[in-house]
Structure 1
C-alpha cells in the first residue's frame, strides 16, 4: 500500500533529467541545484545544508528523481525526514556502505547508507537487492551486517533462485514489520534496460517492476527515489547514440513511476 504523496519531484544537479521528456498525469515540480558546488560524488557540508533546505520547501513528498547516481547521497536527506520507524529497500549494484561515517570522510554516493545507519534513529533495517557480491569495505559495514541491520540479496542469489516467490519471502523476512522507503539506482539493471556511468548489474527491468509492484501492494511505502541517469551535456543532444541511451533511461523511469502509481 502506497501512503505517500503521489506527486513527483525532479532534482536538477547536472541537466541529465532535463533532457528527458516525461509525460505525467500527477503533480510534479523541479528543484534546481545546478548552482551548488561540491556536490558531484561527494557532498560538502555547505551544499548539504542547502540541499536539505531546498528539499524542505518542496510541495510533493512522493517519488523523487535525483539524476545521476553521483548524487545518490540525496537519499540520505530524504530518509532523514521520516518520523516513524521504517526499513530501507535499496535496489543497487553497489551496497553504498563503502566508508565509515565515524571517520573523516564526507557524505558521498558510496557511503550514504552507512551514514543513514549511523545517524538515523528511525531506520531499523536496510535490505539491498541486486548488488554485486563483494565483502563490506569498512568495519562499520561489517558490524551492521553482523547485527542483522543490513541484509543483502546479491545478484548471484537472484540468478540462482528457484523462483521469484522464494526471493520475495527472503526480502519479506528481512524488511520486518515496518513501513518501507524504496530507493532505486538504475545501475542495478542490465545495460539493455538502462545505461549509467557505473558498472551495470544483471537485473531485468521486468524483475525490478515485479519487486516494486509487490512492495507497493504488500507494504506501507512511505516514499521513494530513483537515480542512475546517463551524464549528459548540451552537446550530447547532437549524438544519436547518446540520445538513444537517454531515451532508454527515460522509458525505464516512466515504467518505474507507473509501478509506484505515479505516472
Structure 2
C-alpha cells in the first residue's frame, strides 16, 4: 500500500506515526503548503485546477493508496482522488457531516459528496456517522435530498432526531420518510456487526473507496476543527477490517486533523467563525497521533 502525505497545513509531518513512516521510506511527503490557504474550506476554480493538475501529474499507484490531507477543511479534495480511481466503485464515507450541500464556490468541503455522485463510475455514496446540525431542516441548507430519495446516497447518523423537510423525500436504507419528516435509523441503537453485514450485502460493486473525517469520532478520540460526533474508534476500525476483507479497496483517505485557522480571505474567515466551534487555546493533539497510528495500522494490516 502506498501512503501519501499531503502537507497542506502543517498538521501531519511531525506526528509520530507519520514521521517514522516517512523516515522509514513507508510514506511519501508532498509539500503543498503554498496550495493550502487557497484550497482550505473552499476553492475558486483556478486554485482547484492547480491542485488537480498536481494530482494528475503523480504516478498512478500500482495498488491501493492511503492519502492523509490534514484538516477536514480539505475534504473536498477527496472528489479528485475518487475521480482518478478505477471503477465502478462505492464510496464509504465516515463523517460527522453529510457534506451534501449545493455550494458556491462549487469546490467546498461541505459539498464534495455531490462531486463524487456526479462521477460516472461512482454507483453510490454511503455516509456513516453524522450527528451534526446539518440534518436540522436539511431542505433549507441546500442538502442533496434528491440523491437521498433515489438511493444513490445512503445516510446513517450515529444519532440524530427526526429531520423536518418541506421537500418530498422517499424512504431509504438509512431512513423512513413520511408526513414531512425524515426519521433516521440511528446507529447508536443498532448492533454494529449486524449493520455492517446489511451494508455489505447492499454494496453491488467489487471496488470501494473509504474516506474518513476524524470529526466522526468523539472528542476523546480526536481533536478537529469541527464539531464532532460519537462513533467509537474501535467500531470505525472494525468497519475498515470488515470492508477491506470483503471488497477491493482502490484507495482511502483520512482528514480531520486540527490546524489553527489563519484565513487571509475575509469570506473564509467569516464562514469559519459561523460554522466552526471557537477554540480559545491550542488543544492537546496527542490523541490525534494515537488515533492516526491505529487507523494507518488498520489499513496496513488489511492492504
TM-score, length basis structure 2: 0.75
| Cα gap change, 1:219 to 1:83, in 2 (>3 Å) | closer
Structure with the greater relative contact order (CA < 8 A, sep ≥ 6): 1 or 2?
A: 1
Partner residue, 1:165: 193
- CA-to-partner distance for each residue in 1:81-135, whole Å, 9 max, x for gaps? 02321000000000100116xxx532100000012212x1101000111012715
Tell whether the 8 Å contact from 1:31 to 1:54 is kept in structure 2 after alignment: no
Structure 1 residue 53, shift from structure 2 partner: 2.1
Q: What is the alpha-carbon distance in structure 2 between the residues aligned to residue 189 and residue 117 of structure 1? A: 25
| Deviation per residue, 1:62-89 (Å, 9 max, x gap) | 0000100000011011011023210000
Map Cα deviations across residues 121-179 of structure 1 (whole Å, 9 max, x no partner): 10100011101271544666111011100111110211101x22221123213422341
Aligned: 1:9 with 2:34:
no
Cα distance in 2, alignment partners of residues 26 and 125 from structure 1: 35
For structure 1, list consecutive stretches of 5 or more residues without a partner in the other structure.
Answer: 1-5, 234-240
**TM-align CA RMSD:** 2.2
Q: 1:83 to 1:7 in 2, by over 3 A?
A: closer
Does residue 1:192 correspond to 2:220, yes or no? yes
* Equivalent residue number for residue 219 of structure 1: 247
Shift of 1:19: 3.2
Alignment TM-score, normalising by the size of structure 1: 0.86
Shift in Å, 1:39: 1.1
Does the C-alpha gap of structure 1 residues 140 and 68 become closer, same or farther in structure 2, counting only changes over 3 Å? closer
Q: Paired residue for 2:230?
A: 202
Instruction: Determine the C-alpha separation between the residues in 1 that align with 2:241 and 2:14.
Output: 27
CA gap of 1:174–1:15, structure 2 versus 1, over 3 A, is same
Structure whose CA Rg is larger: 2
Contact in 2 for aligned 1:41/1:70 (Cα 8 Å): yes
The size of the alignment, in residue pairs, is: 245
Deviation at 1:256, TM superposition (A): 0.5
Alpha-carbon displacement from aligned partner over 1:182-209 (angstroms, at most 9, x marks no partner): 0000000011111101011101111110
Paired position in structure 2 for 1:147: 150
Q: Return closer, same or farther for 1:185/1:62 CA change in 2, 3 Å cut-off.
A: same
Unaligned ranges ≥5, structure 2: 160-185, 262-280
Give the 5 Å matches for 1:16-35.
16-21=11-16, 22=18, 23-24=20-21, 27-35=26-34
